[in-house]
Amino acid sequence: MHTKRISEMIEQKRDTYIKVSDSIWDFAETRFEEYRSAELLAESLEREGFQVERGVGGIKTAFVGSFGTGSPVVAILGEFDALSGMSQKKGQATQEPAVPGANGHGCGHNLLGTASLAAAVAVKQYMEENNISGTVRYYGCPGEEGGSGKTFMARAGLFDDVDFALCWHPMGYNSIMAMDSLANYQVYFKFRGKSSHAAASPHLGRSALDAVELMNVGVNYLREHIIPEARVHYAVTNTGGLSPNVVQAYAEVLYLVRAPEVQQVQEIYERVCKIAEGAALMTGTVVEIVFDKACSNLVQNQTLEEVMYRNYQELGVPVHDEEELKLAKAVRATLSPEELQTSQKEFPGGPDADMVTWLNPYNGDLIPLNGSTDVGDVSRITPTAQCTTACFVNGSTLHSWQWVSLGGTSIGHKGMLHAGKVMASTAIDMLQHPELIEKAQEELRQRMGGKPYVCPIPEGVQPSVKK
């Protein structure tokens, strides 16, 4: 079977992929500033014979590596951005930043981008060995964390000629990622007032900070009157200075509005905007609304997921040695009962083990994901499927120091390499059975109701670096 040969190909280059992953772990670059990470992956593709186009979609750290000609075209999606403030020493069962205040890979994207690299290279090699026609592309997708890089790339039409797309995510379990995600908008509300002496002449001032606070209070009252599946978060990104004796002339707040469908997000967003305008009226300030980014919810493709599941079954799951299990036990001991209970509620189906050693059954049922991913926009353009592999301890959560710690260890590496094998095997299976590609595309047309993809990011909005 092709799964055996794909596995051999990836294992032959395992040291190279581990080195790439660990380098990206060390770089820990945040959204749209992943210059070293992107260049390392691009150069790795070029060494393997891919033609790489950098700076695609108007994003400096986005790139596409291509091999082959014509159709079918398979896209393998890679991410490589980190999270701010999540520095953590690797391989430890205690929370200790490597560099206090620095960035860290709390979502495992060093593993994600590298496994996709391994998959793309293996698909290329297998196509060459077996004279399979078509094109394999690696999409270097920056800024998934708070930037929706793929959505900007989708708006630029970079996925329009893709026949199907594959991706994965490191998790604490092995599964087909059949999930419902939340669409979202991320928007800045920037208030401008008038400074004055807060004691001598407060009546002459107009507090932008008051406006931010009133807006937040208003939105908190709104929560009772929106659908329960929606989520609204905010961060005060500028309080107007550090001097309490000055009426703050400028303040801003960043909002993230989520809901199951884009239209629902739009409706809530419009109400949030009215609250912001009301806060400005109450305080005699003015508000500027700056749209930052958005992403759509996922569209499932069961045809493609079934192919991926079949290949996953043939490959099995990662196997861990005694030292890895010892580390996993120590890390899992740091999780609270609430964390373990939440994880079991969201992803049921397994025993209370330190590391998941089984493949979760797949039957096509969707699991609600109370989060967002810009893979959703790709899934509305072309059939898309994702898997997960156990790179972290059972019950651990995304964006945690435990993930940063294990993401640079052999536990993470094993899951990473295995994900590469699953994606590459799935790609080859699809390329050798064009009738499955057509079936997957027909399923997407039906799920979309014949409607074309509409990007949720307005024209004119450009990717920005979040400070």
Give the pLDDT score at 106: 97
- Does position 443 have pLDDT exceeding 60, yes or no? yes
3-state helix, strand and coil shares in percent for the chain, rounded to the nearest 5: 45, 20, 40
Burial of 457 (0-12, 13-18, 19+ CB in 10 A): buried
Q: What is the pLDDT of residue 347?
A: 57
Q: For the whole model, what pTM was predicted?
A: 0.95
Residue 467 has pLDDT above 80, yes or no: no
Single out the residue of 399, 454, 419 nearest to residue 174, CA to CA: 419
Task: Give the up-direction half-sphere exposure of residue 447: CA atoms within 13 A in the CB hemisphere.
Answer: 20
Q: What is the pLDDT of residue 340?
A: 81
pLDDT at 465: 82
CATH, range 183-295: 3.30.70.360
The interaxial angle of helices 302-315 and 410-431, nearest 10 deg, is 120
Same fold, 2-180+297-447 and 183-295: no
Q: What confidence tens digit (pLDDT) does each residue in 361-386 have?
A: 999 988 877 889 999 999 999 999 99
Tokens of 357: 């050693």
- Dist CA 335 CA 357 (whole Å): 19
Q: What is the pLDDT of residue 1?
A: 76
Instruction: Reply yes or no on domain 2-180+297-447 having CATH 3.40.1260.10.
Output: no
Distance CA 382, CA 380 (A): 6
Which SS3 state, helix, strand or coil, does residue 306 take?
A: helix
Count of C-beta atoms within a 10 Å radius of residue 379: 30
Contacts of 186 (CB under 8 A, 6+ apart): 146, 148, 254, 255, 256, 257, 292, 293, 294
Q: How far is CA 414 from CA 3, 405, 423, in A?
A: 16, 15, 14
For the chain, the structural domain boundaries read 2-180+297-447, 183-295
DSSP H or E segment with residue 63: strand 63-69
The mean pLDDT of the chain is 95
Give me the mean pLDDT over the 393-413 stretch.
96
Q: Measured on CA atoms in the order 302, 308, 313, 316, is the torsion positive or negative?
A: negative
What are 276-292's pLDDT values in tens digits?
999 999 999 999 999 99
Which pLDDT score is estimated for 346? 54
Q: Taking the CB of residue 390, how many other CB atoms lie within 10 A of it?
A: 27
- 3-state class (DSSP) for residue 207: coil
pLDDT computed for residue 344 by the predictor: 61
Identity of residue 239: T
CA distance 375 to 372: 9
Q: From 411, 407, 466, 374, select the one nearest 153 (Cα to Cα).
A: 374
What's the average model confidence in pLDDT over 396-422?
97
- Write out pLDDT tens, residues 345-357: 555 556 678 999 9
Rounded CA separation 23/76 (Å):
21
C-alpha dihedral over 63, 386, 352, 413, to 10 degrees? -30
> Which regions of 143-299 does DSSP assign to beta strands (E)?
164-171, 175-176, 179-180, 183-192, 231-238, 250-259, 286-295
Length of the chain: 467
Residues of the chain with pLDDT > 90, as a percent, come to 92
| Over residues 36-51, mean pLDDT | 98
pLDDT band at 466 (very low <50, low <70, confident <90, very high): low
The distance of Cα 268 from the centroid of its chain, to the nearest Å, equals 23
| The pLDDT value given to residue 367 | 83
Alpha-carbon distance 79 to 81, whole Å? 6
- What pLDDT, on a 0 to 100 scale, did the predictor assign at position 309? 98
